């Protein structure tokens, strides 16, 4: 399989490289904004779990287009390093620490954010119950720090896995936001349980004091919670963003979409800063990987043959 294999398999991956986005996930935030007008009037925005930075890219391009771009402040937070972006302040920190929330407010000169977004997700294991639980905890951690930095009336957008216990998360979000919607952008694969909660009009309970020490979802779980009906059950609207004119993320498209324009491979806009396979790339680039026809491989093969022969001679069971 050549370099074009992934381009042919994923149309949004290809479009991201053509338009200069760091990842295909940029289209998810763009399509959410088209539906909910998330960027209207936003001057201070926070991107949690930002690496590699595609959502920060979207915020930078969309919020800094006017003459008053100096007034726009964008803060990106992640444990991993991230390549610089124009107009984006980066914090390499933990979203579960109060010091991270304080640093965000410091960059905003004491003011609260208008918008907080989070596209963070765990490294999936394939065990769906485990993945859904970890994602739920990550969302709650993002909500917790959001309660420290978001202004009343602000908006919050985060990734969610729509599992069997998702109603618990909806009930938690409804405590802090007057409007909660579950949205599925067109660029998000239909085969994935991934969706995004769009929480509008931040209005915490009267007297609520944000606290990093206590988990938000601290009430006991009732196995019959999801079977409740009527006003006792929390159900949020589900909205599919985008119409049929957009590309289908689950469909395979030919490389040459335009008959008048020949396909050309483009490298990724921004490779990872410190990928786990960095050492392997270094060895391959410097031709340090062992090969079958290399002298060292031939020598190793000869030695193994010699050892095998000596073992056969000393083994009394050998005929």
Residues annotated as binding site for S-adenosyl-L-methionine? 53, 55, 78, 94, 119
Count of H-run helices and E-run strands, the chain: 9, 8
Q: Which residue in 107, 105, 89, 84 sits closest to 47, CA to CA?
A: 89
Q: Which residues are annotated as a binding site?
A: 53, 55, 78, 94, 119
Per annotation, catalytic residue among 17, 28, 73, 159: 159
- Burial of 158 by CB count in 10 Å (0-12 exposed, 13-18 middle, 19+ buried)? buried
159 is catalytic: yes
Residue 17 vs residues 65, 174, 265, 269: alpha-carbon distances, Å? 21, 37, 9, 6
Residue 270 vs residues 88, 103, 148: alpha-carbon distances, Å? 16, 26, 31
Pull the structure tokens for residue 233. 């059950």
Residue the block writes with tokens 């909806």:
170
Cα-based torsion angle of the residue sequence 248, 120, 84, 264 in order, rounded to the nearest 10 degrees: -20
In contact, 52 and 16? CB cutoff 8 Å: no
> Annotated catalytic sites, by residue?
159
């Amino acid at each position: 399989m050549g370099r074009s294999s992934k381009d042919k398999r994923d149309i949004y991956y290809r479009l991201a490289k053509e338009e200069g986005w760091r990842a295909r996930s940029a289209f998810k935030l763009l399509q959410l904004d088209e539906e909910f007008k998330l960027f209207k009037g936003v001057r201070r925005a926070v991107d949690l779990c930002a690496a590699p930075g595609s959502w920060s890219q979207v915020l930078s391009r969309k919020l800094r287009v006017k003459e008053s771009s100096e007034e726009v402040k964008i803060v990106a937070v992640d444990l991993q390093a991230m390549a610089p972006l124009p107009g984006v302040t980066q914090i390499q920190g933990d979203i579960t620490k109060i010091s991270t929330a304080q640093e965000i407010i410091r960059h905003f000169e004491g003011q609260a954010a208008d918008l907080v977004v989070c596209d963070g997700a765990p490294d999936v294991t394939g065990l769906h119950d485990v993945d859904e639980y970890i994602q739920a905890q990550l969302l709650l951690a993002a909500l917790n720090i959001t309660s420290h930095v978001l202004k009343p009336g602000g908006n919050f957008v985060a990734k969610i896995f729509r599992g069997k216990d998702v109603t618990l998360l909806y009930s938690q979000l409804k405590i802090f936001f007057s409007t909660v919607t579950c949205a599925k952008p067109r660029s998000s694969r239909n085969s994935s349980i991934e969706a995004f909660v769009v929480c509008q009009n931040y209005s915490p309970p009267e007297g609520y004091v944000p606290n990093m020490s206590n988990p938000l979802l601290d009430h006991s779980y009732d196995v019959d919670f999801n079977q409740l009906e009527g006003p006792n059950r929390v159900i949020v609207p589900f909205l599919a963003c985008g119409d049929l004119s957009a590309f289908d993320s689950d469909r395979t498209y030919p490389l040459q979409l335009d008959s008048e324009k020949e396909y050309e491979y483009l490298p990724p806009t921004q490779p990872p800063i410190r990928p786990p396979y960095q050492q392997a790339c270094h060895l391959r680039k410097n031709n340090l990987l062992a090969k079958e026809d290399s002298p060292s491989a031939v020598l190793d093969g000869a030695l193994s043959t010699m050892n095998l022969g000596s073992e056969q001679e000393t083994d009394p069971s050998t005929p």
